[in-house]
Amino acid sequence: MLKAKDFATEITIHNARTQQMQSEKHISSEHVTNNQAVRQTLLSRGIQPENLPAAEDVKKVERRLASDEKKSLQNPDRLENDPINNN
């Protein structure tokens, strides 16, 4: 539930700025409260984060796609019976 964690973090950032929080202790406490509130919201909607399937890491997918593209450019498949190349 990375997006839920991001949402809780954004709430913390917003509140820290608008309430002019200065101490690490106050900001940390705010962050814990926001994480608990987001989790409670998910649970109240019937979503249990620990029971959701793990999502594939975005960076891992990007690396795999870049690698696949690089491989396809290095070794392009020839079309069988290509009339242009008379295969």
Mean pLDDT value of segment 24-37: 96
Q: Does residue 27 belong to any structural domain of this protein?
A: yes
- Residue 66 or 13, more confident: 13
- Residue 32 or 62, more confident: 32
User: Is the CB of residue 1 less than 8 Å from the CB of residue 42?
Assistant: yes
Q: Does residue 64 belong to any structural domain of this protein?
A: yes
Q: Which of 50, 56, 16, 53 is nearest to 33 (CA)?
A: 16
Which residue range forms the structural domain that includes residue 49?
A: 2-74
Q: Does residue 38 belong to any structural domain of this protein?
A: yes
Structure tokens given for 32:
């814990």
Q: Does residue 86 belong to any structural domain of this protein?
A: no
Q: Does residue 82 belong to any structural domain of this protein?
A: no
DSSP states of 29-79: HHHHHHHHHHHHHHHHTT--GGGSPPPPPHHHHHHHHHHHHHHHHHSPPPP
pLDDT band at 21 (very low <50, low <70, confident <90, very high): very high
Q: How many domains does the chain have?
A: 1
Q: What is the pLDDT of residue 83?
A: 56
Query: What pTM did the predictor assign?
Result: 0.59
Q: Does residue 84 belong to any structural domain of this protein?
A: no
Q: What is the pLDDT of residue 71?
A: 79
